[in-house]
């Protein structure tokens, strides 16, 4: 069985109220949170989970202020910093297609596989879907051709996706086999590790309606049956000892 090494990448910072990222949180802190991506390799395959946000001076970047990104936090430079050529990335597995997770696809070769949930892409054209009203730059997303996964699937030996709606209707989490066992990369279903390790566990503070919240809780229960080890979309802890996992 293939086992992978996971390397977190910081692709900028967004400053937000902590309660946005932590369900039912009552504190008032406003903090800079990283935009995280993850490089995966088993020594053969070179994979990426998410690819970061748009340039700060783009219209969407201006609309997302406070948002910062330095030159070395652009995905090609971030990969180069760890000795990886962007042209060698075989596939990008998107947790979802929001602007801060999927806006650097144009920097990759056309041969790079782009993998997301079928429901995530198709929901963008659904006028009745509440989760598609904000967060997406639809005209950018539609420039590219994606491999659509319908539900749970193994993508490579040792790397699978599981359908985990909540933050968006088409969210997926990535399950990575490592030497320490399976690790979940949850994107924004659970933006902060501290909410996952809370008692009881909490998810994203931003849900679009009650169905979204219900879906999030079901997805969290699904993930808890797989592993307790989790990497999230906006937590500084992933850059610390043990990548913040318990």
Residue environment code for 202-237, b if the CB has 16+ CB neighbours within 10 A, otherwise e? bbbbbbbeeebbebbbebbeebeebbebbbbbbbbb
Q: What is the mean pLDDT of each run of 10 residues along the chain (246 residues)?
A: 94 98 97 98 98 95 96 98 98 98 98 98 92 92 98 98 97 98 98 96 93 96 98 98 96
Position 131 scores a pLDDT of 84
Q: What is the DSSP letter of 122?
A: H
Whether the model pTM is above 0.85: yes
Classified as helix, coil or strand, 18 is helix
Position 77 scores a pLDDT of 98
Task: Report CA-CA distances (Å) from 45 to 4, 93, 126.
Answer: 9, 13, 35
Beta strands in 141-223 (DSSP E): 147-149, 153-156, 159-163, 172-178, 181-185
Position 144 scores a pLDDT of 98
Position 132 scores a pLDDT of 86
Position 133 scores a pLDDT of 86
């Amino acid at each position: 069985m293939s086992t992978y090494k996971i390397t977190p990448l910081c692709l900028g910072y967004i400053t937000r109220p902590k309660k946005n990222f932590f369900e039912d949180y009552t504190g008032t802190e406003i903090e800079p949170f990283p935009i995280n991506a993850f490089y995966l390799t088993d020594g053969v395959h070179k994979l990426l989970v998410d690819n970061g946000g748009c340039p700060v001076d783009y219209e969407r970047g201006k609309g997302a202020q406070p948002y910062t990104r330095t030159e070395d936090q652009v995905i090609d430079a971030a990969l180069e910093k760890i000795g990886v050529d962007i042209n060698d990335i075989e596939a990008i597995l998107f947790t979802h297609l929001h602007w801060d997770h999927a806006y650097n696809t144009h920097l990759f070769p056309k041969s790079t596989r782009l993998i997301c949930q079928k429901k995530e892409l198709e929901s963008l054209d659904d006028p009745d879907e509440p989760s598609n009203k904000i967060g997406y730059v639809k005209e950018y997303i539609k420039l590219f051709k994606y491999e659509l996964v319908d539900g749970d699937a193994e993508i490579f030996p040792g790397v699978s996706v599981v359908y985990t709606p909540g933050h968006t209707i088409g969210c997926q989490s990535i399950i990575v086999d490592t030497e320490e066992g399976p690790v979940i990369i949850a994107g924004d279903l659970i933006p902060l590790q501290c909410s996952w390790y809370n008692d009881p566990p909490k998810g994203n503070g931003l849900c679009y309606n009650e169905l979204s919240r219900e879906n999030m809780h079901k997805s969290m229960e699904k993930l808890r049956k797989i592993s307790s080890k989790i990497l999230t979309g906006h937590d500084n802890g992933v850059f610390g000892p043990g990548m913040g996992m318990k």
